Structure 1
Amino acid sequence: MSALAVRCRPTVIRGLCAQWPAVRAARASDAQAAAYVAQFDAGISTEALVGDAALGGRYYYDSDLTGVNFTRETAAVVDHLRHIVTAGTDTDAPTRYLGSLPIDQYLPGFAQDNGLAILPPSAAPRIWMGNASVIACHYDSYDNLACVVAGHRRFTLYPPEAIADLYVGPIDYTLAGQPVSLAAGSMDNDRYPRFANARDGAMIVDLSPGDALYLPKLWWHQVEAQSPFNILVNYWWDNFSHGPDAPYTSLLLAMIAIAERPEPERAAWRAFFDHYVFRPDGHPLAHLPAEKHGILGPLASGNYGRIRALVMRLLRGE
């Protein structure tokens, strides 16, 4: 997977998990797929999104972004599964979406039967189950491998540089953790005129049971579960992390330190960020011998900890 992460491009891997017992059960019937998952249930209650049938599984904000169009219901996984199977054959029943459950916690033993040796040990699996749904266009801060177990999934993908054309909603009042594109879920072209640029460059990926999609960090994706009963297993990990600090933390800090300064000063800081962080011209101290690079030497050689300690002292005002 490291080679895919270096390329930083979405990649479809057909049949990657086709031999999973869970996939074989899903190919037999929705009921068998639900029964297969239910046998691993640890009995821990969890929350599901529940929407009126008229919504068609489009879980989203309300019209003025002050609330949401769904409710939340807490129950055991097996009870949620029973409702999902029932709603799959009853078009008037409320739809249900059960997302991002850590498998080792809620379904112990499932991962041992349905695993991928190509992933690092840090990539713990999560499971997503529900009726037909449309999950708003969002991004992940981690590398993501999404494996379809039951039903069919359509991913509509936009590259990170499309962010300005996607009209992103609030970052501190979200549907499920990550900010979403307001334009990608709207038909109001007059309100979001720049979205045409993103739409023209979108990639559409259709996946069947057993197929997988590698999604690099920061790629925007709308996810449509197209069948009455759907299961997906995904894995998140950071292929290039040197420690606990995430790039998003740096982004938030830059918002308060730089974003509202005068434009000429922001331009000056942009030049410094390019030179020291994004490095379009190579290492900023390439003109010096490696032994003179100091804390700008390789992070893995102890400089990660040195820089982090310096940052923590500065944040404490020392």
Structure 2
Amino acid sequence: MSDAVAAIDARAIPSRAAFETEVVAPCRPVVLRGAAADWPLRQAAARSDAALIDTLAELADDHSAELFVGDPRIAGRYYYSEDLAGFNFERRTMKLGQALAAIGHAAAEGGESLYLGSLPADQGFVRFPAVHPMPWLAPEVTPRLWIGTASQVACHHDRLDNLAICVAGRRRFTLFPPEAIDDLYVGPIDHTMAGQPVGLAAGSPAGDPRWPRFEAWRDRALVADLEPGDALYLPKLWWHQVEATGHLNLLVNYWWDAFPSGPDAPFTALLLAMTTLAERPLPERQAWRAFYDHYVFRPDRHPLEHLPAEQRGVLGPLAQNRGRIRAMVMQWLRGGR
């Protein structure tokens, strides 16, 4: 039986500082009840689906967007084709106004599954932030809108921290921690539905013979059920399957790095490590793992804690040495030593 994600009243988080300390710093998923209770779009959705579509149309710019279109038989489950070579939906580019009208019609009349996902407010809804403030985050963090009929988005992770707000309909997030990655049977990282690889085993029937290792995680998932106005804070790298169960659904999310240490993304280092280490002999990979633990992950101590601070060289404070380290890396990538 899956456990529910811990939930708190959003009114208990009065400021950005409190959000960073009480919600983000523990690096655990948290539901914030009523985080967007006063948003105009949530209030429009409470009146009717038509009111929500009209309010979105009033906010929309003259931009085009990519609409996911699925046959009624997929029941909103956007996924790969049976052979994993393609997908079970098509992409259509159209003006936002047209796409919103099509989604509103499908929500009212049934038929095709329609989904507009990851629309940056500054590329389609530039007035959205002014009338839907999010004081917990820096102003430069861009909100994104996800609008559609009932849907199920395959289990995936984000490389950034995520604040996801259910505005219309209901959302269920089924969560697995980062360490579940090996047992989720992750698909390709460069042939994806929307940018991130997916856990192919999540959502499969119990006892599916294709994914035997997943059985150890099936009943250990965390579940977050969001009502309109609720939010979920999700730390980076947590796996999540997302189900939207209303006839018409709207989610707004914010991606940002809550713990930046410089301009380079950790995933870049992961890809480079794959090219240098992944196919070396197992004993050598194990040796490099020990070095990564010592110098990078540092589970117990700083690697040069036995030396005075002034003798730690590039292993001194990162803020002072990041440029030196990056220069060394770039020189070595060019073939120099």
TM-score > 0.5 by shorter chain:
yes
Q: Distance in 2 between matches of 1:297 and 1:5?
A: 26
Q: What does residue 207 of structure 1 align with?
A: 226
The amino acid across from 1:59 in the alignment is: Y
Q: What does residue 34 of structure 2 align with?
A: 15
Secondary structure of the 1:48 match is strand
Secondary structure of the 1:194 match is helix
- Runs of at least 5 residues in structure 2 that lack an aligned partner in the other structure: 1-18
Residue 236 in structure 1 maps to residue 255 in structure 2: yes
Q: Distance in 1 between matches of 2:79 and 2:280?
A: 34
1:95 to 104, 113, 136: 113
Residue 164 in structure 1 maps to residue 182 in structure 2: yes
Secondary structure of the 1:39 match is helix
Q: Distance in 2 between matches of 1:112 and 1:44?
A: 19
How far did 1:186 drift? 2.7
1:144 to 153, 162, 165: 162
Q: What does residue 120 of structure 1 align with?
A: 138
Q: What does residue 73 of structure 2 align with?
A: 54
Structure 1 segments, 4+ long, off by >3 Å, are none
Q: What does residue 44 of structure 2 align with?
A: 25
The amino acid across from 2:229 in the alignment is: G
How far did 1:244 drift? 2.1
Q: What does residue 286 of structure 1 align with?
A: 305
How far did 1:123 drift? 1.8
- Aligned identity (percent) is 58
The amino acid across from 2:184 in the alignment is: L
Q: Spell out, residue by residue over 1:124-160, the C-alpha distance to the aligned partner (whole angstroms, 9 max, x if none).
A: 1111000000000000000000011111000000000
What's the Cα RMSD here? Answer: 1.1
Q: Distance in 2 between matches of 1:107 and 1:197?
A: 43
The amino acid across from 1:104 in the alignment is: D
TM-score by length of 2: 0.92
Residue 277 in structure 1 maps to residue 296 in structure 2: yes
The amino acid across from 1:186 in the alignment is: S
Residue 262 in structure 1 maps to residue 281 in structure 2: yes
2:172 to 136, 154, 162: 154
How far did 1:121 drift? 3.1
Residue 74 in structure 1 maps to residue 93 in structure 2: yes
- Runs of at least 5 residues in structure 1 that lack an aligned partner in the other structure: none
Residue 196 in structure 1 maps to residue 215 in structure 2: yes
Aligned residues: 316
Residue 109 in structure 1 maps to residue 121 in structure 2: no
Q: Distance in 1 between matches of 2:108 and 2:130?
A: 31
Residue range with higher mean Cα deviation, 259-268 or 134-143 = 259-268
How far did 1:122 drift? 3.6
How far did 1:185 drift? 3.4
Secondary structure of the 2:119 match is strand
The amino acid across from 1:224 in the alignment is: E
Q: Spell out, residue by residue over 1:151-188, the C-alpha distance to the aligned partner (whole angstroms, 9 max, x if none).
A: 10000000000011100001111111000011113336
Q: Distance in 1 between matches of 2:314 and 2:226?
A: 45
